[in-house]
Structures are given as C-alpha cells and as structure tokens.
Structure 1
Amino acid sequence: MYHEAIVPTMNFPFKIFIFHTKSSDRLIPPHWHASVELLFCLSGKLDVQFPNQHISLAQQDVLFINSNMIHSSQSPAPGKCLAIQIPLDFLASATENQYGHQFLYKLTPQNATPEVKAILMRIKEQLTKENLWDRLTTKASVYELIAELTKNFRTPLAGIKEIESAKHLPKLKKVNDYIAAHHKEHLSLTSVAEHFNYNPSYFSRFYKKFMGVSFSEYLSSVRLLEAYFKLRDTDHTILEIALDSGFSTVKSFYNAFTKHYGISPQQYRKTYFKK
C-alpha cells in the first residue's frame, strides 16, 4: 500500500483523465489518497478491491471511492475509464465543509442513476475540447456532479463501515513501507509482526481485515510488481528476475505469477514485450 499524491490537471482544481488498459494484466496495488475518486467505465472491465469488498465495473458502470479508502484495481479485460479525482479541500469547500464531517457518498454500479451517467458522458465529451469556455463548462459539470451526489447519494458517517480502515492508515503505512524496503529479504508474517511488537495471530487478522488481502498476498504482489518491470525493461533471465524480486525459487515465482496473471512469466514476456 502506498499513498498516492493527486496533482490536479492543468487549468482545473481537480484531476480528470481517461486511462486505457490495453491488456488484461494491468494491476494497481493497494493504495490510498486524500482525494475522492469517481470511476466511469467507458468500455471493457475494471475490478476494484477494498478491504473485504470487491466491485466489478463493466461498460457504463460508475463507482465513487471516498477519501482515504484503501483500494486496488485490476483490468480483467482491455478497455478505458474516465477518472475524476477531487482534492478533499475542494470538495469540503464545495459542500460547505459537510463532506467528511457529516456524510460520505455511496455510489456503486447498483445504485448509479441515468442522471449521473449523463453528466459523466457530458464531461467525457468536453475533455476532447480545448477552448476556455469548454473548460468552464467542464468545471460547471463537475459542480453539477457534486450536487447530484449530495442530493441523492450521501450517507451518514455511521453508515459507512469502511471508514474504520482509514483510522488505521498510519499503522498500515509503516508496515507496508517496511515490506517495500525489505521485500527482497526472507520476510515472514511472524518476523514482521515481531518487528512491530504485534502478536502474530493478531497481526494476521488485523492486516487481512483492514488491507483486504492477507500478508502473504500483499508481499507477493510487491514482488510481482517488481518482476513485472524487470520482465518489461530488462533482458535478465527468469531466474535472475525471480531472485532479484525476492522470490526464494524460480518455482515459487512461476506459481505466483501464473496464478496472478493466468500465464507463465515466459509467455507474458513473449506476448506483451516482444520487440
């Protein structure tokens, strides 16, 4: 897990962009940010994982991610999505300091309305234009979106169970920073728990509950992410990549990679990165 700093798009007080997923191996590991995020799936599929919750997006599906919620994503099918990331201070100002103090938003594929989708489609079309008046129209549309969210999708803080995860972000960040710094070493749940003075059984339950994945799953994802870049950017052998990324053997790397991506490291390199 890492904290993602959101930098607003030029000429806007928020970040807005369309991201394309050209292959089904796109993986964004667990992370969090103070900005809220709204995802609108334009084509393909996108899976978003929260602690103890998994949401799948298909074409025309919408998802709102509240501030400081740990989440990861993966694309099971190529496609593209519109993303709007709104800084917390901007949203607090727009809602007269009520967002985050009196309510959060709960918008999922199951309760998204045609009105919300129409606003997002309009924003998507406006992004292709570069005139000042079009940028002003986009800003107005985002305010309209916030108004629609506040009118129809606000939920009292007590009604959002996931907010408990945000309380543990400082602890989780220290643990995950340690994992990131030492993932090439022989790490175990017990050794990490003892490093932070946790009982291993408690630490295992705590980590799984608030990260949404087990300790071993997260450690493996950190190692796989490093292996991904080495497969893409180097001509190192599979053995070298496995050991350099923290896997104890080629077999353990092969099994983890195949389970995660559905193909072997050799097939992955040949399919996606052949020059």
Structure 2
Amino acid sequence: MSGPNYERVRLNARFPAMLLLQNLTGQARTIPLHWHRSLELDLLTAGSLDVTVAGQTTTLTAPAVLVINTATLHAMTPNTARIQAITLLISYDFIKQALPDYDDLAFDLQGRVATAARLQTCLAQIGEWYRRRPNGYQLLIGEQIDHILYLLTTQAVVPRPIQPTTQCDYRIQATLTSLDTAYQFPVSMRRYADRYHLTLPYFSRLFHRETGQSFREYLLNLRVEMAQKQLSQTSMKIIDIALANGFGSAQRLIAAFEKLYGLSPTRYRRQERELRPNR
C-alpha cells in the first residue's frame, strides 16, 4: 500500500524496488486514488481493507496478497483501526529490461491460489530479512525479487487490458504527476487551474471528485508521507526533513504529522527503530 500518489517510488540503490513495512493507524490508513509506473505487491498481515483497482472494489482481509499493475488507478479504505502490511514496489524500468513486451502485459492472481500463496511467502520472507538485516540480506532480497517476477511471468501473466476512459480525469492525472515532483516547493491550486483554463472553483470541485480530497489536503498528506519515509529510512534532523518536504518549519511538520499519524515524528521514529533492533 504505497502511499498516495503518482510515481513517488524512491529506489534503494541496492534494490530495483522500494520496500515499505507499514503499521498504520488514524487517517494514514486511507490511501486515496493514485497510480504509479512501478509494479506494486501488497501483503496484508493485519486488518481489513476495501481495495478499489481500475474502478472495481473488493474487500481484502489479512492474510492476503494483492498485485497492482503498472499505471493502474487504485485506492484503499480501511475497515479496521490498524492496518499492517508489507509493500513492495518494483521498478518499471527494471521489469521492462527483463520483459521487453511488458507494456502489453499484466499480472492477475484471480483463481491462482497456489501462486498467491507462494507470493505471500516470498513477501513475508523479504519483510523478515529487512527487519533482521542479517549479513548479505541485500543479496537475499534481490534474489527474492527476481523469484517473485519469475512466479508472476510464468504463472500469472495476462494481456494488459485496455484502461477504461472513465478513470481519472486527464487534467487531474497530470496535476498529480506534477505534484509528485513539485511537492517540496510552494505550489498553488490556481497554477493548475490556469494551466487547464479552468476556473478555480471548478478545478477545486474536479480535484475533490477525482481524488476524494481537497487540493490542500492532498498536498499536505503527500508532504507528510514523504517526510515519514525519511524519518523511517534516514537519520536526518526533523527540521531538515521539514524543509526538504515543503514545510516552512519543524512545527508545521509536527502538527501535520500528528494529525495524520496520531503521534509525533520523534515518537514515530523511535517506534520504527524499536521494530528494527538490528538496524
């Protein structure tokens, strides 16, 4: 359950993928409509979610595994107070190198119970290696990612369906793509409304209709989520993380983080380190 939004996949230099160990409460459990070029695999280990993929909604209850194909709009709404999951986002470019015809393919686990079970085991093992970090764990994870792609391409590959035209409005898609690279800087809704020759009230309504959030809420949540990843993966100071993600001060980041995650950035970082004693 990659955080919202368009292609914000930060790749670890050692892996052709991004790995997220998620333990979410409060508003952070809700993942609004988004897409990315990377292939997403989610192992839900605790909780229940309503998952909307390409306009179709199903309920996912732990333990369960989910595959979300490249450039497919999806959103997730929690049914329980806490959601725990392992999310793996595999680089589009990496897959494209291995599968030159990847743009014409998709992966589908429907009816493939044995394959889903094997993927669940693979993702759980990756999560365990990343938590414990034994010697050579980078090599083990890389090998497991290759195995996951082998399973998908030999046991779950299907022709890529034509995306329905009723998905996300192209202007909002373009706006979200732009925000993904501009969120660190001062941005305004008027800038995007003017770009598409729309009135500000109309663009505001369109944005809310397509994403389920106001422009301001979306941008704030995007900045908080990117800050959360730096809290988890780096030793940067809170003020530096705040400034790197578009907040004018550490206090603004703290207030926004507490509203979304229900705890302070410092406490969140402490809990993350406690979960990874060998880090």
1:222 to 205, 214, 217: 214
Gaps of 5+ in 1: 201-213, 233-268
Q: CA 1:44–1:132 in structure 2 vs 1: closer, same or farther (change >3 Å)?
A: same
Structure-1 residue corresponding to 2:272 = none
Structure-2 residue corresponding to 1:70 = 73
1:42 to 42, 45, 51: 45
> RCO higher in 1 or 2 (8 Å CA, sep ≥ 6)?
2
Q: CA 1:86–1:61 in structure 2 vs 1: closer, same or farther (change >3 Å)?
A: same
Normalised by the size of structure 1, how large is the TM-score? 0.61
> What SS class does the counterpart of residue 103 from structure 2 fall into?
coil
Partner Cα separation in structure 2 for residue 175 and residue 37 of structure 1? 22
Alignment of 1:165-244 (within 5 A): 170-174=170-174, 181-182=188-189, 195=198, 217-218=209-210, 221-222=213-214, 225=217
Q: CA 1:98–1:48 in structure 2 vs 1: closer, same or farther (change >3 Å)?
A: same
1:92 aligns with 2:96: yes
Structure-1 residue corresponding to 2:275 = none
1:9 aligns with 2:1: no
1:107 to 109, 112, 126: 109
Q: CA 1:169–1:87 in structure 2 vs 1: closer, same or farther (change >3 Å)?
A: farther
Structure-2 residue corresponding to 1:83 = 87
Q: CA 1:99–1:39 in structure 2 vs 1: closer, same or farther (change >3 Å)?
A: same
Partner Cα separation in structure 2 for residue 18 and residue 195 of structure 1? 40
Structure 1 position 130, deviation (Å): 2.4
Gaps of 5+ in 2: 179-186, 225-258, 265-279
Normalised by the size of structure 2, how large is the TM-score? 0.60
Between structure 1 and structure 2, the one with the greater Rg is: 1
Structure 1 position 30, deviation (Å): 1.6
Total equivalences in the alignment: 213
1:21 to 1, 19, 24: 24
Contact 2:171–2:196 under 8 Å retained in 1: no
Partner Cα separation in structure 2 for residue 228 and residue 48 of structure 1? 23
Structure 1 position 34, deviation (Å): 1.0
Q: CA 1:109–1:126 in structure 2 vs 1: closer, same or farther (change >3 Å)?
A: farther
Contact 1:21–1:75 under 8 Å retained in 2: no
Structure-2 residue corresponding to 1:145 = 148
| CA RMSD across the alignment | 4.3
Deviation per residue, 1:218-259 (Å, 9 max, x gap): 465226836997xx9xxxxxxxxxxxxxxxxxxxxxxxxxxx
Contact 1:25–1:75 under 8 Å retained in 2: no
Contact 2:33–2:211 under 8 Å retained in 1: no
Sequence identity of aligned pairs in percent?
18
Q: CA 1:130–1:154 in structure 2 vs 1: closer, same or farther (change >3 Å)?
A: same
Partner Cα separation in structure 2 for residue 37 and residue 169 of structure 1? 22
Q: CA 1:28–1:60 in structure 2 vs 1: closer, same or farther (change >3 Å)?
A: same
Structure 1 position 20, deviation (Å): 1.1
Structure 1 position 125, deviation (Å): 1.7
